[in-house]
Structure 1
Amino acid sequence: MLRISTFNVNGIRAAQRRGFTGWLNERDPDVVALQEMRCPLTELPRDAFGEHHLSYHPGTIPGRNGVAVLTREAPAAVRAWGEGSLVAHLDSDHPLTVEVDHSTLARELRHFADEGRYIEVDLADRPLTVASLYLPKGGTPFSDEASLAKYQRKMRFLAGLARQLGRSRRAALAAGREFIVLGDFNVAHTRKDLKTWRTSQRSEGFLPEEREWFGSITSPRTLVDVVRRLHPDTDGPYSWWSWRGQSWANDSGWRIDYHLATPRLARAGVNGGTDRSVSYEARISDHSPVTVDYDLWDDGPASSTRPLVQ
């Protein structure tokens, strides 16, 4: 059994103060994809990640973005879009080399390469490639010029990402590995993925073209939305709620944090969903972790005693 989580922490230092390490110890995931770390390498909280190894691309925008993958073993390989990554257990004196090859990066994504939006690792102990993604929030095409610029920027990112995920998926399969991309896609795919869908159809994250794009990268033969496969008829389970108003109390959320996996790995997802905090006060971030147990490799029942919150 392999337990995999994705978590937009909205600042790892703030998340640690709110209980991130306690969540990590209690849920005990084997692999964690993290987004919006918002922390320079020199200020990483060294005790936040337990015994996990950290692969981290902070990006070059101070206080913004930053993606990471935590693994129990040091990864076999790491690939990022831009320079400046850290790959090591924080107590290790021998960080691994990060592979950066802009010649294989979709041209639309080259402008984003150094923003800390994507990193992928090959697990050393499993035939699996794991990617962590933080997609731009975007804007709308019918508001002001600033919002239009954000909309156009996001659409360029989406166009390049569709090809890039195809390349990563095919490369993993050619190497005998399954592939999973985890993270904050900033897109709610269907009406079941946000509470306020009736009033959000002209909002960034639920525009028709964004939803169409999401449908284009998922299919039974390419990448499968694992949590939706596990909960086909459920509204949600949501993964993001505004800090403001009564969104949390009314469960008026969005499902924008995903596990998208190759079909064989997706079929191995046996249970999972959102680790929703017990109260507003106990929240670690405006996002909640999304965790799935995968029964793809038979390595014993160790994970079976760790129930999931849905």
Structure 2
Amino acid sequence: MLRIATANINGIRAAHRRGFGHWLAERGCDVIALQEVRAQAEKIPADAFGDHHVALDTGTLPGRNGVAVLTREPPAAVRTWSGTALVGGPASGGPALAEVPASDHVPLTRGLGPFVDQGRYLEVDLADAPLTIASLYLPKGGLPAHLQRPERMREAPDGGARYARKMGFMAAFARHLTRTRRAAAAQGRQFLLMGDLNIAHTRQDLAAWRRNQNNDGFLPEEREWLGAQLSPRTLVDVVRRLHPQEDGPYSWWSWLGQSFAKDAGWRIDYHLATPRLARSALRAEVDREVRGVRLSDHAPVVVDYDLR
């Protein structure tokens, strides 16, 4: 069995202070995909990743983004859009991260060029299982210009620039996703995309869906895009497969108000697996708290897979 998790930690240093190390040691995950690491290598706590090996792309934007995959064994291959990765293994005092060339050149699909150095995507081939794992942090986006109302917005109106950026990323990433999934299959590997997609797919995936129908993250075109990536023959939403009738389980709650206490959240953190891998999933859980403390505004989504 492989226990695999995804977690947007909203800053490794903050999550570390809240107990990420305890969760990592106690949960027994074999693979963990992280998003929003939000720290350059020299700022990451020495023991942040416990006894796991780490492959990391921090990106070049200080204090923003950053994706990683933690594994029990050194990965057989690491691929990034930037062409380099930080890798490290368990050592006295924690992993010593070193920048190395990525294992393979990943041809960029049209439209991904502006995102190459932002630390949004990394993939590894596991050494101990025929499986390719990818960690994705999809841009949050914004509202199209015609839906922007200054009196209702926390951010200044931008004429739809953030919306256009997200839509452009999604169009380009869909092409990349098809290529990567097929490349894994050609090597006899299953494929698993995990991460913060910043989209709630259906009404089951957020508590207050009625009042969010014109908000970013639940726009019809975002939901349609996510649905187009899923099918019984390509990629399967593993958590929804295991919880077909349930509202949630949610993985993000605002820090404001009582949304966490009332479980008024969003399900925006996903395991999207090739069909054979999805069928091997035994259980899926969301770890809302660790020793009574939230690690982040997101919570880890943990799935047990039986690959036998």
TM-score w.r.t. length of structure 1: 0.92
Matches within 5 A, 1:64-143: 64-89=64-89, 91=91, 97-99=101-103, 101=105, 104-141=107-144, 142-143=147-148
1:252 aligns with 2:264: yes
Match of 2:152 in 1: none
How much has 1:143 moved relative to structure 2? 1.0
User: Amino acid of the residue matched to residue 228 of structure 1?
Assistant: R
User: Amino acid of the residue matched to residue 35 of structure 1?
Assistant: Q
User: Amino acid of the residue matched to residue 75 of structure 1?
Assistant: P
How much has 1:93 moved relative to structure 2? 7.1
Is contact 2:23–2:290 with CA below 8 Å preserved after alignment?
Answer: no
How much has 1:16 moved relative to structure 2? 0.3
| Match of residue 287, structure 1, among 294, 298, 303 | 298
The structure-2 alpha-carbon separation of the partners of 1:94 and 1:138, relative to structure 1 and needing over 3 Å to count, comes to closer
Match of 2:154 in 1: none
3-state secondary structure, aligned to 1:126: coil
Is contact 1:83–1:114 with CA below 8 Å preserved after alignment?
Answer: no
Is contact 1:87–1:97 with CA below 8 Å preserved after alignment?
Answer: no
Aligned partners of 2:177, 2:189: CA distance in 1, in Å?
Answer: 14
Q: Which runs of 4+ in 1 moved over 6 A?
A: none
Aligned partners of 1:89, 1:44: CA distance in 2, in Å?
Answer: 14
Is contact 2:84–2:101 with CA below 8 Å preserved after alignment?
Answer: no
Aligned partners of 1:242, 1:275: CA distance in 2, in Å?
Answer: 16
Is contact 2:41–2:97 with CA below 8 Å preserved after alignment?
Answer: no
1:61 aligns with 2:61: yes
Is contact 1:276–1:289 with CA below 8 Å preserved after alignment?
Answer: yes
Match of 1:48 in 2: 48
Is contact 1:139–1:147 with CA below 8 Å preserved after alignment?
Answer: no
The structure-2 alpha-carbon separation of the partners of 1:43 and 1:267, relative to structure 1 and needing over 3 Å to count, comes to same
Match of 1:160 in 2: 172
Number of matched residues? 295
Q: How large is the RMSD of aligned CA atoms in angstroms? A: 1.6
1:212 aligns with 2:224: yes
How much has 1:44 moved relative to structure 2? 1.5
| Deviation sequence 1:46-79 (CA, Å, 0-9, x none) | 2121110000000000000000000000000000
Q: Which runs of 5+ in 2 are unaligned?
A: 150-156
Aligned partners of 1:63, 1:205: CA distance in 2, in Å?
Answer: 23
How much has 1:184 moved relative to structure 2? 0.1
User: Percent identity between the aligned chains?
Assistant: 61
Aligned partners of 2:123, 2:177: CA distance in 1, in Å?
Answer: 11
Aligned partners of 2:293, 2:288: CA distance in 1, in Å?
Answer: 10
Aligned partners of 1:41, 1:114: CA distance in 2, in Å?
Answer: 15
| Match of residue 271, structure 1, among 276, 283, 287 | 283
